[in-house]
Structure 1
Amino acid sequence: MFKRGLLAVLTLLALLLLVLVVRALVLPAPALSSRVLPSLPEQDRDAQVERLAQAIRFPTLADRPEAFDAFHAFLAEAFPFTHETLSLRPFGHSLLYHWDSGHDCAPTLLLAHQDVVPVSAMAEWQHPPFDGVVDERFIWGRGTLDDKVSVMAILEAVEAMLAEGRQPACDVWLAFGHDEETGGAQGAARMAAWLQEQGVRFELVLDEGGMVLPGATLGIQQPVALIGIAEKGYISVTLEAHGEPGHSSRPPAQTAIGDLAVAIARLQANPRPAGLSLPTRYMLETVAPEQAFARRLVFANLWLFEPLVVRQLAGNPETHALIRTTMAPTMLSGGVKDNVLPATASAVINFRLAPGETQESLLNWVERHLPEGVSVSIKEGFFAEPSRISPANSDAFERVASLAQALPGDPLPAPFLMIAGSDARHYQALSENVLRFLPVSLQQQDIARFHGPNERLARNQYPDMVRFYLGLLSSGSAQ
């Protein structure tokens, strides 16, 4: 009896191993159309770099409306064919362009934002952030990555097509927001609402998001072009603790600041559950064929090995945010003098909501872990639920992925979950295919340049950005 039972167990284990191995062996690599990015004359490349440098010199910050006005005048002068041919509808300082193809087919919407974040740590900048310095290797300044560079590259591509007398096969819309860094309520949200009122539906909406990064983080040698098919949600909450005010020489057992510290410590000690969302699952399955066999076997059988993969991703700071809702205490307030007990103390915590998380589920979790005397409220300002997940097997995704694959370095396109936010969230009602990809190639350490000091773009990459957008506009264009 024991032998028969042991044999049955061994047989089941052998069958399981067979299933795992077969799934790993037959896992197909993504099949993409072969595309070549259009070429650009050398003199055009130098002129494009110089125009980008000029654009950086306009400090388009939220509190500088005159900078937007000057920037718009510059755009009209720098791209005359575009402004003669495309219709332009302003929404405050946001710009909505329409390129009428004359054909009745689903249009494309390209997004980018003109505004940039304020500058901190000025002493750490190698070149002043709004000087638009161009040296032998880089274009320096605010907006060279996030995201004025896309405004310029898209317009360069449109202008190049118009200069050659070319038209797209289907209509193209360009939406350049002016307040993405503060939530997009006056820019992207208004433009999206107007487009919805007009009944416009898009075959593709493309915004900033993923980029080409080294594949080492995912265990492969080939660079990876990460194309966002979803983005995390955003909410900030305020924790407030109340205590007995008085002289610090006679402190009570519990103080407002002490209770607040306990609350934050409890939340950090009990993180939200981790798991593989669909975008992360798709990403791992896409890179699986390029893995060594042992890792390929794991990624091809996530139905069994998900807990193991989640633990591995959780242990890496570069991938931890992909698997759960994250929290970051960002603001603290309490006390007026070093020897006075404050009556109240507060903290602001920013959460990035993973797919499946909701405002209600998050607040319930926060409330369960707060000590007595500490309350939670939603901070006024921007809020967004996690975005819808766009399909990774659509013609629109293939269109973007095949062009991403044609970028230098032969990157492997893969869907992924964007952990930051973008204007794309406002356009979800207008298309089934809302994607997020910035066609630049960076090293992992360059990520800190977004919103950080020494933002820059390699000057030889900017023409490749223009070529990417030119390829996107030219794909299927009328000849």
Structure 2
Amino acid sequence: MPVDTKKEGGGIFPKSPWESPVAVHVPTPASVKDLRFSRALTFLCMIALWSTLRVLNFPLRFISRNTHSGLLHPNTNSTACPQWDALYPIDNAQIDAELEAIYASPDFKLRAIDLLAGAIRIPTESHDNSGPVGEDPVWNIFADLHQYLERAFPLVYTKLNVTKINTYGIIYHWQGLTEAKPILLAAHQDVVPVDPTTVSRWIHPPYSGHYDGTWIWGRGTCDDKSDLIERLIVVDSLLRRGFTPARTVVIAFGFDEEATGLEGAGHIAKYLEETYGRDGFAMLVDEGETPIMNFGNGIYFASLAVSEKGYFDARVEVTSPGGHSSIPPAHTSIGLLSLAISAIETNPHTPELLRNGTPFSAVQCLANYLPSFPEDLRSLAREAVSDDWALARLKDALPKLSPAIRALMATTQAVDVIEGGVKVNALPERASAVVNHRIAEHSSVAELQQHLIDVLLPVAASHELTLRAFGRVMKTGDSGEIAVSDTFGTAVEPSPVTPMGYGPYSILGGTIKATMATSQLYNDATVILGPFLLLANTDTMHYWNLTKHIFRFSLATESDYYNGIHTVNEALRADAYIEGIRFLTKLILNVDESPLS
């Protein structure tokens, strides 16, 4: 059903379903706000671990046994992996119930799908090599998306204070009645480019927004226009029910998250800190890149990403004398570069398992609730909570299970780009490679740089090369030079870890449980919560100063994505899209009536 945004009254929905009261029964939840005080640090990582393995399609080669003596029932709480009760709005229960009835209607579903489809049809691609806003015309397409959003959500643009940042960043300010810290909801407008050579492989065109009755097709359906549109639909819905928040709600949309985030979230972060102050927000929820895992028998694992790995691209460049290739030296620049690369790859970073780290918490959760976790490691994990010998054995055993688990425990390195040489009979005077690093939670940019220096010093020494690393001369030589630098100047430290326990963490987790427990799509699911270390980066890397409570979460299971993200046939299950709207509605209402400072 197409949306006629030019109709009198505007908006994406017809007047009647929104303006007329809906007679509904307000359920009395079995357990409301009865949140037990406990540290929920461990559980999210467990989901992170399992989710990472499934997302990467890496098989868990666990040797399962028929007996699971240490396995906990999903309804059993654990000191190593604490859980929170489902959390339902109380003061706002009537509004929540009214909107639940509206969201369940076929008319609402079709109109919500049509709105997302309209956003998908605008190809807001961001590229790694784009110039600044105002200089590069590649950004102009975002103006089309802005016009579309204004037409589709006239009530939002009328009632909220809308601010444009660096031309295409958008901030919506919904003023609350109290001085309580605001909640910040983030998403991004841009999508990764579609490779023109793959268009023929799409079942439906990548910018069609086609709905086939089950799936919404197109680039951005999963990452991240669904999150963006869900946020605006929820605000529009609440406005039409006459809701005024007690706690201010701020929504921020960057526009280059798929590149560096510097043009969008980077500028937005500065504005928000200047406006609301350092640590001025109660909590932040941005996109989540790890879907909820379905463990079968109505049991789901919901992973809340509470931290992100750091990021560093190291350029290793070798220069040496050129000349005719008929009289070559023992090693050309390319040969010397290959020795440097070999040294890097044969000296990977050591995995660590620290008790205060997210990976350790993830292991504890897996050991408590994952049926296929090997019994010997399950016992070892429990002992490792207090036994150093068990911790050391566990640290050695886990990386051997899969590269994905190792990636959670160590800084990773991947030589992704290499170049050198201009002619077959000319000695190359230079050759270079770029090594991509994802820095472990326990490490730092400085530690990574020192590791590279330590690895490359012997190469430089054995071949009489100068080693210049990050602006410092570490060794001099007469035969050439190895230079190591920050390739793009985009180094990012590992993120702070969000506190886990009573407060924002428990509210978010309780809201997830409430949403899925009352969901027809997920069949009244039993949900286990757990913390997660995100291996990639989101716009939240620019928002660290705004709040200590940063979460990366989107409500969707792996089966709700047709073919994942950043690839052909990106598509989102329409029913999951509606579940995301339900979740965000409950989250805003729950946070609004919470005592968060």
Per the alignment, residue 119 of structure 2 pairs with 55
Deviations 1:410-462 (A, max 9, x none): 33221111111011121111212111112111159x69732222222112211
- Equivalent-residue separation in structure 2 for 1:376 and 1:294 (angstroms): 43
The answer to which of 124-133 and 382-391 deviates more is 124-133
- Equivalent-residue separation in structure 1 for 2:349 and 2:593 (angstroms): 50
Per the alignment, residue 264 of structure 2 pairs with 187
For the structure 1 residues 336 and 212, does the alpha-carbon distance in structure 2 shift closer, same or farther, using more than 3 Å as the test?
same
- Equivalent-residue separation in structure 2 for 1:369 and 1:394 (angstroms): 44
Per the alignment, residue 82 of structure 1 pairs with 156
* Letter of the structure 2 residue corresponding to residue 306 of structure 1: L
Do 1:213 and 1:443's aligned partners in 2 also have CA atoms closer than 8 Å? no
TM-score between both structures, scaled by the size of structure 1: 0.88
Per the alignment, residue 463 of structure 1 pairs with 578
Per the alignment, residue 259 of structure 1 pairs with 336
One of 179, 182, 200 as aligned partner of 1:104: 179
- Equivalent-residue separation in structure 2 for 1:462 and 1:259 (angstroms): 52
Do 1:243 and 1:254's aligned partners in 2 also have CA atoms closer than 8 Å? no
One of 288, 293, 299 as aligned partner of 1:214: 293
Residue aligned with 1:173, SS: strand
Per the alignment, residue 392 of structure 1 pairs with 500
* Letter of the structure 1 residue corresponding to residue 291 of structure 2: V
Per the alignment, residue 5 of structure 1 pairs with none
The answer to whether 1:72 aligns with 2:72 is: no
Per the alignment, residue 541 of structure 2 pairs with 425
Normalized per residue, the structure richer in helix is: 1
User: CA shift at 1:49, angstroms?
Assistant: 1.1
Do 1:169 and 1:476's aligned partners in 2 also have CA atoms closer than 8 Å? no
- Equivalent-residue separation in structure 1 for 2:212 and 2:235 (angstroms): 26
- Equivalent-residue separation in structure 1 for 2:250 and 2:487 (angstroms): 34
For the structure 1 residues 135 and 447, does the alpha-carbon distance in structure 2 shift closer, same or farther, using more than 3 Å as the test?
closer
Do 2:71 and 2:369's aligned partners in 1 also have CA atoms closer than 8 Å? no
For the structure 1 residues 191 and 128, does the alpha-carbon distance in structure 2 shift closer, same or farther, using more than 3 Å as the test?
same
Do 2:83 and 2:529's aligned partners in 1 also have CA atoms closer than 8 Å? no
User: CA shift at 1:215, angstroms?
Assistant: 6.1
One of 463, 473, 476 as aligned partner of 2:588: 473
TM-score between both structures, scaled by the size of structure 2: 0.71
Do 1:166 and 1:478's aligned partners in 2 also have CA atoms closer than 8 Å? no
Cα RMSD (Å): 2.7
- Equivalent-residue separation in structure 1 for 2:383 and 2:110 (angstroms): 49
The answer to whether 1:157 aligns with 2:234 is: yes
For the structure 1 residues 419 and 164, does the alpha-carbon distance in structure 2 shift closer, same or farther, using more than 3 Å as the test?
same
Per the alignment, residue 381 of structure 1 pairs with 489
Per the alignment, residue 142 of structure 1 pairs with 219
Per the alignment, residue 118 of structure 1 pairs with 193
Equivalent residue pairs, number:
456
Deviations 1:272-331 (A, max 9, x none): 110135112222333443245655433333344334444324531333321111112221
For the structure 1 residues 478 and 72, does the alpha-carbon distance in structure 2 shift closer, same or farther, using more than 3 Å as the test?
same
| Percentage of identical aligned residues | 30
Deviations 1:328-381 (A, max 9, x none): 222111111233321100011111111232222111111221222422111123
Do 2:563 and 2:569's aligned partners in 1 also have CA atoms closer than 8 Å? no
The answer to which of 107-116 and 141-150 deviates more is 141-150
One of 319, 322, 335 as aligned partner of 2:405: 319
Q: Which runs of 5+ in 1 are unaligned?
A: 1-20
Residue aligned with 1:350, SS: strand
Per the alignment, residue 242 of structure 1 pairs with 319
Which residues in structure 2 correspond to 1:334-373 (within 5 Å)? 334-370=420-456, 371-372=459-460, 373=465
- Equivalent-residue separation in structure 2 for 1:274 and 1:233 (angstroms): 15
